[in-house]
Structure 1
Amino acid sequence: MRTVGVLAKAAGLSPDGVRYYERLGLLRPLARSPGGYRLYGEEALDRLRFIRQAQALGLSLKEIRALVEAMEEGHPPCAEVRQVLKEKVALLDRRIAELTALRQALASRLAWAEAHPDVACDGRDRCVYLDPLDPGASSRV
């Protein structure tokens, strides 16, 4: 049996981190010592490793809690994990596409700005390099 401090150290967490996961219902002590300290078994360390790995893969604590609840009900959450992973991959694909488009827009602006360093801005609330229209349109006016 491990106390919060010993468990936290073994898991690479702070004792407050362990207590936080407990408050969220992700972890439960097996017993209390005569002095009232929470005591955890070896499975608590496995649970903390599971939680940390799931977080490292982008799962939210809410998603992790649903998986933990399924495990505690006695059925492996494999189908749920696959679904969450599919959703995370799809989200990343969308974000990568958005970031790629943003990078292309920025690179295009930068290339135009570097090719036209003498274009004058009005010095107030706009810059032709950031103009929402075609960056070359302002220099032709």
Structure 2
Amino acid sequence: MDRLGNVIKSYLNNDDEKIFGSARGERRPSHDPDLDAAFDELNDFLNNDKARDEPGPEPHAPPHGPETSNGTIPEELRQDFAELGVAFGASGTECKDAYKKLLKIHHPDRHAGHEGNMKKATERTARINAAYDRIEKWRKG
């Protein structure tokens, strides 16, 4: 509580330059290592966020259609990519992440208390598994 009180006093005394840095945006170390660590973490996050916002090449949008090392993606897999909720031609990592996320959401054990919901979850999980298996089987070719 003392730290919070000191921060509030700093605001009220218009002493924020001492805690948050000069007007140029530079932050000077405070007397609180936790506060310093929090600001360093925030700066790292904000700097990484800016790097993600910079334009770069599209990850899966080649000019002549989706391709991988195994060749052009068969049109039959379009529905499987949609089942996973990823773009047609998404990378293996994107597919795997989406697959895991969907399994966590739709796992039948999460719906064990309601028979109807459990049945729907079981069916959805089977479709998710089948879609991911077909995509991976094609990738391994």
TM range (shorter): under 0.3
